[in-house]
Amino acid sequence: MTALLDIKDLRSYYGQVQALHGIEFHLKEGSMTALLGTNGAGKTTTIRAICNMVRSTGTIQFEGKPLMGKSTESIVRLGIAHVPQGRGTFTTLTVEENLQLGAITRKDTKVIASDIEKMYSYFPKLKERHTQQAGTLSGGEQQMLAVARALMLRPRLMLLDEPSFGLAPLIVRDLFGIIGKINREDKVSILVVEQNAQLALEIADQAYVIETGRIVMSGSASDIVNNEDIQKSYLGH
Amino acid sequence: MSTVQETFATTKSPSTELPAGKSNALGRNLSLLILLVMLVVPLFVRNFVIFQITMVLIYGIAVLALNILTGGSGQFSLGQSAFYALGAYTSGILMEHLGVNYALTLPVAGMVCFAAGFLFGFPALRLSGIYLALATFALAVAMPQLLKLGIFEHWTGGVQGLVVTKPDAPFDLPISQDAWLYYFTLAVTLVIYITSIFLLKSRSGRAMMAIRDNEIAASAMGVDVSLYKTLAFGISAGITGIAGGLGAIAVQFVAPDSYTIQLAIALFLGMVVGGVGWLPGSFAGAAFIVFVPNLAEEISKGLSGAFFGVLLLVVIYLVPHGAKQVATFAESLIDKLRKT
Amino acid sequence: MELFINQVLAGISTGAIYACMALAVVMIYQAIDHLNFAQGEMAMFSTFIAWQMMQWGVPYWWAFILTIIVSFLGGILIERLLFKPLAKAPVLTNVAGFIALFAIINSVAGLIWDFTIKQFPSPFGSSPFLGSQLISTHQAGMIGVTVVLLIALFLFFRFTRVGLAMRAAATVPESARLVGINTSWMIALGWGMASAIGAIAGILVAPVVFLEPNMMGGVLIYGFAAAVLGGLSSPLGAVIGGFLVGIFENLAGTYIPGVGNELKLPIALALIITVLVVKPNGLMGHTVVKRV
């Protein structure tokens, strides 16, 4: 198995404050990997660092190509879609325009329309509202829109930042169901950051645990679920 | 989500903040040193230079007033020239028509402008950012025209303006009028500067800064947003009015076209060059707007505007945060030297 | 009543000037989130370029098109050279940068072309339009060009990928980067387009106000006012705002006693502010919900 994403000795800084202290992990092609940890552990920082949205040092390789020093937009153009925390909706644009923006860098303009239809089949709610301003959608719908917008890139890798944040449990189930399906059927590798460890471990095959800017544990999702420390600190058993 | 990121996100957003964790005054030793230099300077320079430094102090007060409004409460005004004009005319009219002593006209000018600013602050409450800039801009444009109106001509002197008598030094002090005016201005400046620093440190000052940083959060904490925003407008206008009064006395002349929008723009540039929200910087900024246009004029008469623009660009490229940035840098340098 | 209608008509024809300038203002505001105080001077400089070309014998429409191209590239160049380095500086520092640019352009234009007033030709002529003394063919042509420009902009932003990308970059820059948009170039493009539209405004205004380095001072202020009145985010709002400001100005001059030419501007501004106090986001602007 080749590593799609390979991260070594990643250190990130917010001003003078160091948030990551040498993170190392890799992500296999086609896998669904979860990045777990408490509030403030550095999960979000890690995936923001992948897209060069925080000042960092170390090496990050995507399909063997170094990402460090590339601009956010050129990293995205390599096929890395990032669903940011807070969803990053273009609130004043329509739902459909949001989806078109997801594909704005693609050259194959002819199939974009059919991809939009495909997103509507994943998320029928979005179709109902496709001419509405995206800011009028509910939180759950905006999260679906954010995922759909990311998929419009036809990414190799999708980075999901706390997709469950602020959503009702039922909606979260739905959303994670679809994310799992995208991973299996569309062969999109996924790195998901979650505070809700239980949920993430249900659909992930690999998992890493971050504490205060360091990876403290890694393994297959089933190993992590059964680990006693994890059960105590993250799963509440 | 990391907590680090949250705190980062909240501190970077307001562009008008004071340097983090740093007081908005200079250290005591440095302040005393500067004061000492200011006291002896008139002994060594020509009268015209004394006059120029007096103007730096006067514009410095006006820039400081804008700083209290923008740096303090986060409101932006292009209308400072209107309050400056109002103060200048108040002093001029009191002195020339009613024979009031020049020093006594200043508090009156301050109060008149405080009232005007406070009243203007009410409609301005509904506006923010660019809309407020436009409203204050309208005020600045209207003021010279209003001063020219026929109905006020008896008092204002219309387009001709008023000539103001230059005061002599009191108690037969053996110094020139310029030097006396300089010391008088310096004393007024000191009082205003120190009061302003205490004001910003006070409860009211903290309330204003809370509004600047996050209006909704401030109101949720129980800060009376309307009161403090209008108050900030009033205080800023009042201080500007005192500067205007001093300006009238120093220049010995008030006329509508001395107080156009260009003055408001100059004061704004002074604030940016000095560092938004940093009170001592007001005087550095004022020095810029007094001396740099002259410098540009000396480089080339025909292209003085272009050279002024270039010099301004050079300053904002080197130090986008103005003199505040220079001071912060110098301070960290001194700290490093001390440690080694 | 006839006086009223005549004044409204006259207002519409001056309003066309403001509308055109307001379009340029909205354009740049959308791209960079600031009002560019040097925009009027940039337009003035473009107009001088057109004038110079015509002096050299270039036909009107060729000079028109070439000037638009040169202005577009010039706008991009100014952004890349002067304002990209200030991207991370505070907003007010940027505004100071605009003022510096204003001073430089004004002064350089004065040096090259001096401050004497110059005649500028109109392609539409200046005979009465449809027999009305109040509106000339030039002013009618100006209204026509403004409307065409507005429609073109609407189509561009609504139906092209670049237009969509520019809107995205203006609304949420971070998300725009995350879909792969080079937001920095979108800003440069915004400058280029604003500069080109400003050039059109300048060329249209010049036959009315005459060409000289300070010709845009007043026009830009009205253009700002019109853009703000229209809500700053909407090209249509800017055009409507432009016409309204023109009408306000004329009616104030006619009906309010004691208002000479000099108080027209403050009164027009006061009216606009009154509107803004009632409707703080302008006539066509959308409300932005503020959160802590």
Here the CATH number for the domain that contains residue A8 is: 3.40.50.300
Three-class SS state of A8: strand
Max Cα separation, chain B? 71
Which tens digits make up the pLDDT trace of B113-127? 898 888 888 777 777
Give the position of tokens 């999702």: A221
Beta-sheet strands, E only, within A2-126: 3-14, 17-28, 32-36, 55-62, 65-66, 80-83
Contact pairs from chain B to chain C, CB under 8 Å: 136
A43 and chain C: CB distance < 8 Å anywhere? no
pLDDT at B4: 33
Smallest CA–CA distance from C183 into chain A, residue: A73
pLDDT recorded at residue B1: 33
Asked if residue C268 lies in contact with residue C252, where contact means CB atoms within 8 angstroms, the answer is yes
Residues of chain B in contact with residue A43, where contact means CB-CB under 8 angstroms, are 1-2
- Both tokens of B96, joined, read 């020339």
Which ranges of chain B does DSSP label H, i.e. alpha helix?
3-12, 28-40, 47-67, 73, 80-98, 102-124, 129-148, 153-156, 177-201, 203-213, 215-220, 225-251, 261-274, 281-299, 304-318, 323-339
Residue-range domain boundaries for chain B: 26-258
CA dist., res. B81 & res. B267, Å (int): 8
Query: Cβ contact (<8 Å) for B123 and C100?
Result: no
Radius of gyration of chain C from Cα atoms? 19
Q: Which residue has the tokens 């301003």?
A: A133
Which residues of chain C are modeled with pLDDT < 50? Answer: 288-292
pLDDT at A235: 67
Chains with ≥3 CB–CB distances under 8 Å to B: A, C
pLDDT of residue A25: 85
pLDDT for the residue B136: 83
| Higher pLDDT pick, B161 / B310 | B310
**Cα dihedral C195, C200, C202, C206 in deg (nearest 10):** 170
Q: Which residues of B touch C232 (CB under 8 A)?
A: 130
Mean pLDDT along residues A194-217: 84
Which of B313, B318, B321, B325 to probe by mutation at the C interface, max C CB count within 10 Å? B313
Angle (CA) A169-A174-A180 rounded to 5° is 120
The 10s digit of each residue's pLDDT in B105-155 is: 888 888 888 988 888 887 777 777 777 877 788 788 878 777 777 666 767
DSSP state of B319: -
Give the residue-averaged pLDDT of A165-184. 84
More confident residue, C254 or A123: A123
**CB within 8 Å: B5 and A162:** no
Residue A212, domain extent:
3-89+154-235
- pLDDT higher for B9 or C190? C190
**Pairwise CA distance, residues A176 & C63, whole Å:** 60
Closest CB to A73 among C171, C172, C180: C180
pLDDT score recorded for residue B25: 64
* pLDDT one-digit tens code per residue, A36-81: 888 778 888 888 888 888 888 888 888 888 888 888 888 998 889 9
DSSP string, chain C: -HHHHHHHHHHHHHHHHHHHHHHHHHHHHHHHSS--TTHHHHHHHHHHHHHHHHHTT--HHHHHHHHHHHHHHHHHHHIIIIIGGGTTS-HHHHHHHHHHHHHHHHHHHHHHH-SS-B----TT-SSEETTEEEEEHHHHHHHHHHHHHHHHHHHHHHH-HHHHHHHHHHH-HHHHHHTT--HHHHHHHHHHHHHHHHHHHHHHHHHHH-BSTTTHHHHHHHHHHHHHHHTSS-HHHHHHHHHHHHHHHHHHHHHSTT--HHHHHHHHHHHHHHHHHHSTT-SSPPP-----
Question: Measured between CA atoms, how close is A14 to chain C, in angstroms?
Answer: 16
Q: B1 and chain A: CB distance < 8 Å anywhere?
A: yes
Both structure tokens of A34: 């979860």
In angstroms, the separation between the Cα of residue B14 and the nearest Cα of chain C is: 9
Number of domains chain A is built from: 1
pLDDT given at position B35: 78
**Interface ipTM:** 0.86
Q: Which amino acid is present at A76?
A: V
Proportion of chain B above pLDDT 70, given as a percent: 88
Q: How far is C157 from chain A (nearest CA, A)?
A: 11
* CB contact at 8 A, A125 and A148: no
A44 Cβ under 8 Å from any chain C Cβ: no
Kindly state whether residue A198 falls inside one of the protein's structural domains: yes
Kindly tell me if the per-residue pLDDT of A196 is higher than 50.
yes
Q: Compute the distance between CA of residue C155 and CA of residue C80 in angstroms, rounded to an integer.
A: 27
Q: Distance (Å, rounded) from C-alpha C38 to C-alpha C103?
A: 8
Tell how strand A32-36 and strand A55-62 pair up: unpaired
